[in-house]
Amino acid sequence: MEKEFVFGHQNPDTDAIGTAIAYSYLQNKLGFNTEAVALGEPNDETQYALDKLGFKAPRVIEKAAPEVKAVMLVDHNEPQQSVSDIADVKVTHVVDHHRIMNFNTSDPLFYRAEAVGCTSTVVWKLFNEQGVEIPENIAGIMASAIISDTLLLKSPTTTDDDKKALEALAKIAGIDVQSYGLAMLKAGTNIAAKSEDELIDLDAKSFDLNGKTARIAQVNVVDLEEAVVRKEAFIKAMQDSSAKNGYDMFMLLITNILDSDSVAFIIGDEDAQSKFEKAFGEKLQDNEMKLSGVVSRKKQVVPPLTEAFN
Amino acid sequence: MEKEFVFGHQNPDTDAIGTAIAYSYLQNKLGFNTEAVALGEPNDETQYALDKLGFKAPRVIEKAAPEVKAVMLVDHNEPQQSVSDIADVKVTHVVDHHRIMNFNTSDPLFYRAEAVGCTSTVVWKLFNEQGVEIPENIAGIMASAIISDTLLLKSPTTTDDDKKALEALAKIAGIDVQSYGLAMLKAGTNIAAKSEDELIDLDAKSFDLNGKTARIAQVNVVDLEEAVVRKEAFIKAMQDSSAKNGYDMFMLLITNILDSDSVAFIIGDEDAQSKFEKAFGEKLQDNEMKLSGVVSRKKQVVPPLTEAFN
């Protein structure tokens, strides 16, 4: 059987990389010939999980078509979040937990999405449905993905299915969810060692909002103030990136993973700014907005923005 | 829980109506509050199945938003094949077996598609995964959908999953697949009693082909000649319908369900005609094209056309 790549979105997080590894393993067990690859290097949090579980980071690809004719996507479907030459390959499988946007195919395909907190929760179901045993390290990387995406089950995206999956996977992997999870999340919050340019690109996705391109980045911290003091430099980095990449607006969501609060820096023209204010029911003060209780880009940021722009 | 509609595509066939009935039953068992409805009256084949199994036809709706805020789609996802006000309601669930095209949401949702012959095959898996028992008549209507979509397992869209599902469902329903299936399919081939205007609209779908709207209708017969002698009247009906509805091209696929061969009548401008010829590697003779072995619009017609137009 001809080889297919399995990969998550650009600027990969622990779900994008961990679930690609797990889904590739499952598909190979089912008779496919796949290789898990990535659209970027792992971030500090993901690297922590890979190291702990004894995985090498999947190799990074720039393009898919020179090597394969077909691909399987995890944790994303929107073309602008995918490999740059996604239009030149056939998508045969998607496993995801996001909205569907601008994803078009000419043929029927396998598409499995559920409104759960993490793609690995869906892949955990697929393992069970197919009766494929989950090895210890695969269970560990899937548990890491769930911990990451749900912020240790505290994000409002968390569902009962995520809780069940994490419990089952942690048991197989032999990890203590609280201690392992907190250590892993904290590994991803060391912002002192990184420039603003790096930080706004670590976990950043582009979204089509009624024809406008919005860049939405998220940075996890254990102390909001540590990021807020660097606001001026963040805004400059966001402006430079927007000019260079043609983003119509840029939002940086800084999230305190300990108390589940966020502050956002937002740039864009007047119309965009007023739509952000409408979306969140908050005033923008000097490009800054307090977003109490907001931790999920997918559930608490993108849907109200989509609505405000439509 | 607030009520949601479950429905298949416009110009419903046995899969669209039968699977809506079955999926609504399953979702209600799982705690949702749904009503199976339809976007049109059942065709003769579907009516045969409904009568045999003791179902009333689902009521026909023109719009969804006046009655519900959210809907579940079966057997389709493309907006132009859905209820006219689909943009005004939220799609929470999709179960399908088609390509994905122009289907966009602002929120994550449950989306389950597989490249199998019939949507009921996917719903059969969902019943099994959820551990919900399938009643006799629900099994019967799902079996009817599979028989219809796969032309008694003879269409190239047929997969092993369809065979397994049909076998299991026929057993629960207590029907003999061959005798029941042939009687049901034949009930849908009585074209003598219908006008050309009716026939080109019975099982017709609109497709976006790189910005052009293609109308593709299919009629099942047990003797191609019976349809071919009415060619002139068919072409006129297709021209009138295109003018009225703004279709850029119209293809009528006439399929002999006994020997799995088709002939097509095709109208459109010169560019469209040459793309049809390219797609199928056949010459159009006086708006007519012989399509040996072609029985599946989804697998053998739409993908080559999509390719030819891109």
Tell the residue number behind the tokens 């009333």, with chain if given.
B56
pLDDT at A258 over 90: no
CA distance A111 to chain B (A): 5
Asked if the C-beta of B106 comes within 8 angstroms of chain A's C-beta atoms, the answer is yes
pLDDT at B178: 95
The pTM is what?
0.89
Q: Cβ separation of B106 and A307 shorter than 8 Å?
A: yes
Rounded Cα–Cα distance for residues A293 and A300 (Å): 9
Residue B258 pLDDT: 87
Distance CA A32, CA A20 (A): 14
pLDDT value, residue B80: 92
- For strands B4-7 and B70-74, give the pairing: parallel
- Considering only the beta carbons, identify the residue of B103, B112, B129 that sits closest to A100: B103
pLDDT score at B157: 93
At residue B110, the 3 state secondary structure works out as strand
Q: Is A101 on the interface with B (CB under 8 A)?
A: yes
- The residue whose two tokens read 């946007």 is A101
Q: Looking at CA atoms only, how far is residue B124 from chain A in angstroms?
A: 13
In this predicted structure, what is the pLDDT of residue A268?
Answer: 96
Is A308 at the interface with chain B, CB within 8 A? no
Instruction: Write out the E strands in chain B.
Output: 4-7, 34-36, 70-74, 90-96, 110-113, 204-209, 212-221, 249-256, 261-268, 288-291
Tens of pLDDT along A64-117? 999 999 999 999 999 999 999 999 999 999 999 999 999 999 899 999 999 999
- Please tell me the predicted confidence (pLDDT) of residue B217: 97
**Total count of residues recorded for chain A:** 310
State the Cα–Cα distance between residues B267 and A141, nearest whole angstrom: 55
B99–A112 CB contact, under 8 Å: no
Tens of pLDDT, residues A194-229: 999 999 999 999 999 999 999 999 999 989 999 999
3-class SS string, A224-292: HHHHHCCHHHHHHHHHHHHHHHCCCEEEEEEEECCCCEEEEEEEECHHHHHHHHHHHCCCCECCEEEEC
**Closest Cα in chain A to B129:** A129
Nearest-neighbour CA in chain A from B199: distance (Å): 26
CB count in 10 Å sphere of residue B2: 8
CB nearest A109 (choices: B108, B115, B299): B115
- Minimum CA–CA partner of B99 in chain A: A108
For the CA atoms of A94, A99, A104, A107, what is the dihedral angle to 10 degrees? 40
Q: Which amino acid belongs to residue B212?
A: K
Distance in angstroms (rounded) separating the CA atoms of residues A115 and A102: 18
A90 interface with B at CB cutoff 8 Å: no
- Nearest beta carbon to residue B109 from set A110, A113, A307: A113
Residues 6+ apart with CB under 8 A from A270: none
Please give the residue of chain B at the shortest CA–CA distance from A75. Answer: B108
Do B307 and A115 make contact, defined as CB atoms within 8 angstroms?
no
pLDDT in tens, A44-65: 999 999 999 999 999 999 999 9
Top residue of B97, B111, B116, B127 to mutate, by most chain A CBs within 10 Å, is B111
pLDDT given for residue B215 in this prediction? 97
Q: Does A302 touch chain B (CB under 8 A)?
A: yes
Q: What is the pLDDT along chain B (310 residues), one digit of tens a residue?
A: 899 999 999 999 999 999 999 999 999 999 999 999 999 999 999 999 999 999 999 999 999 999 999 999 999 999 999 999 999 999 999 999 999 999 999 899 999 999 999 999 999 999 999 999 999 999 999 999 999 999 999 999 999 999 999 999 999 999 999 999 999 999 999 999 899 999 999 999 999 999 999 999 999 999 999 999 999 999 999 999 999 999 999 999 999 998 889 999 999 999 999 999 999 999 999 999 999 999 999 889 999 999 999 8
Please check whether residue B102 touches A, CB under 8 A.
yes
Which tokens hold the place of A143? 């548990």
Burial class (CB in 10 A: 0-12, 13-18, 19+), B277: middle
Task: Check B106 against A299: CB less than 8 A apart.
Answer: no
Angle of CA points A227, A219, A76, to nearest 5°? 165
Q: Given the structure tokens 């864009």, which residue do they identify?
A: A268
Partner A contacted by B211 (CB < 8 A): no
What does the pLDDT read at residue B126?
97
Mean pLDDT of A227-236: 96
pLDDT for residue A260 = 86
- The ipTM assigned to this model is 0.87
Residues of A224-242 as b/e, b for ≥16 C-beta within 10 angstroms? beebeebbeebbebbeebb
Q: Is B163 on the interface with A (CB under 8 A)?
A: no
pLDDT, residue A310, reads 87
Q: Could B99 and A107 be called an inter-chain contact, meaning their C-beta atoms sit closer than 8 Å?
A: yes
Is residue A99 exposed (0-12), middle (13-18) or buried (19+ Cβ within 10 Å)? Answer: buried
Tokens at residue B163, please?
Answer: 């065979």
- With an 8 Å Cβ cutoff, is B108 touching chain A? yes
Note the pLDDT tens digit of each residue in A117-174: 999 999 999 999 999 999 999 999 999 999 999 999 999 999 999 999 999 999 999 9
- Residue B60 is given by DSSP the state B
Decide if A280 contacts A292 (C-beta within 8 A): no
- Residue A37, min C-alpha distance to chain B (Å): 24
The pLDDT, as a whole number, for residue A101 is 94
Closest alpha carbon within chain B to A93: B114
Q: How many CB atoms lie within 10 A of CB B102?
A: 13
* A259: pLDDT strictly greater than 90: no
Q: Residue A102: which of B98, B104, B112 has the nearest Cβ? A: B104
Give the model's pLDDT for residue A97: 97
Whether A115 sits inside 8 A of B101 (CB atoms) is no
Long-range contacts of residues A189-192, Cβ cutoff 8 Å, at least 24 apart:
A189/A220, A189/A221, A189/A222, A189/A257, A190/A44, A191/A219, A191/A221, A191/A226, A191/A227, A192/A226
Token pair listed for B52: 């045999």
% helix / strand / coil in chain B, to the nearest 5?
A: 45, 20, 35
Pick from B140, B76, B74: which is nearest to B103 by CA? B76
CA atoms within 13 A on the CB side of A18: 34
pLDDT score recorded for residue B191: 93
**Closest CA relative to residue B107, chosen from A296, A215, A133:** A296
